[in-house]
Structure 1
Amino acid sequence: MNQITEILDSLEAGDVAAGQQLLPLVYDELRKLAAAKLNQERPDHTLQATALVHEAWMRITDDREDSDRRWNSRGHFFGAAAEAMRRILIDHARAAKAEKRGGGRQPIELETWNHPAAHQPEKLLELNEALDRLEKQDAVKAELVKLRFFAGLTVAEAAAALDISTATAERYWAYARAWLHAEIS
């Protein structure tokens, strides 16, 4: 994964060709993360992992062209990808909730997953609003939730992406889950 950091550094130095090298290196990992996230979504979800990765890629590369933001590290890049995937899934949940798509109707669930957002877009929207409030209080804990929940990273992977210890990430994860649960309840 050092190669990704080197390419990101080359991009920051203005090497346009480095951008063409980045996508093939991160595509498989992003697709695995997207597939893992979509496996946690409701069974009738119409968004595919490939589409989620492509949309996230378009958003993070389009955002970079319109701003002075930089990817400082591999973790920063995957954080941007996790945020893009989060926003895409939130937009998708809002669309599913829209009245013209039957958002006012309650689906009959034949099987349940232990996370309420899996089958109910309104729960995902509540989580998003609570996550926005957490971000105002503690951006690192909110970023950890995004990496864990939306990008599907493990605690160790998220800790590395945030450049914090695994023990700290575990404490932050426990706190953030409890805080979000209290906010949503």
Structure 2
Amino acid sequence: MKQLTEILDALDSGDTAAARDLLPLVYDELRRLAAAKLSHERPDHSLQATALVHEAWMRVAGDGRDDQRKWNSRGHFFGAAAEAMRRILIDHARAAQAEKRGGGRAKIELDTWNHPAASQPEKLIALDDALAKLQELDPVKAELVKLRFFAGLTNQKAAAALEISTATAERYWAYARAWLQTEMQ
């Protein structure tokens, strides 16, 4: 089986068939990341890890006709996948809060009514809004948050993806968490 960087290079060269080789190589890792991300969502979340991976895959890999997709590295690819998962979860949270789905009315499930994660959609939307502001102020810190929070990467893996040291990633992570918490309050 080809190495990931070879496949990404083939995709960059316009080889649309390379996407078939890419999926088996990254599927398990994407599935693990999606499961980790969904474990932080409310217990009655209707998205499953497999559906999240498939939707993210469609957004990241697409149909191969998008000439704008250029993957510089493994970290760049997984960063794009993390961004796709983040957007899918945000879209899902917004849809759950839509007027068609009951809007602002509180929904009480008997088995989860006192669970602290039962009211997460509005927190996820607030996080997305704050993250958009952080993106304008400091794109590297915002990307670190996406990789850590939405892709479930460790500090070491996120640092490698962003090509910064682990110590810098730890400082950025501490700053970004504090900044986002202040912004969301």
TM-score (norm 1): 0.91
Answer yes or no: is 1:152 the counterpart of 2:156.
Answer: no
Aligned to 1:57: 57
Deviation at 1:60, TM superposition (A): 1.2
Shift of 1:112: 2.4
- Rounded to whole Å, the distance in 1 between the matches of 2:64 and 2:163 is 22
Distance 1:64 1:161, change over 3 A: farther
| In structure 2, C-alpha distance between the alignment counterparts of 1:75 and 1:101, rounded to whole Å | 37
1:99-178 matches, within 5 Å, as 99-108=99-108, 109-112=113-116, 119-178=119-178
Q: Which string of whole-angstrom CA distances, capped at 9 and with x for unpartnered residues, describes residues 153-182 of structure 1?
A: 111111111111111100000000011011
Letter in 2 for 1:110: N
Q: Is the 8 A contact 1:41 1:119 kept in 2?
A: no
1:42-94 Cα deviation digits (max 9, x unpaired): 00000010000000010112386334231100000000000000000000000
Superposition pairs of residues 86-105 of structure 1, within 5 angstroms: 86-105=86-105
SS of residue in 2 equivalent to 1:135: helix
Indicate whether 1:73 and 2:73 are aligned. yes
By percentage of residues, which structure has more helix? 1
Between the two proteins, the alignment pairs up a number of residues equal to 180
Name the CA distance, whole Å, in 2 between partners of 1:60 and 1:165: 27
Q: Structure 1 residue 11 and structure 2 residue 11: aligned?
A: yes
Q: Structure 1 residues 150, 63: closer, same or farther in 2, change over 3 A?
A: farther
| CA pair 78-59 structure 1, distance change in 2 beyond 3 A | same
Question: Identical aligned pairs, as a percentage?
Answer: 73
Q: Distance in 1 between matches of 2:148 and 2:132?
A: 15
Structure 1 unaligned spans of 5+: none
Deviation at 1:126, TM superposition (A): 0.8
* Code of the aligned partner of 2:48: Q
Output one character per residue of 1:105-130: Cα deviation in whole Å (capped at 9) or x when no partner: 224532225xxxx7321111111011
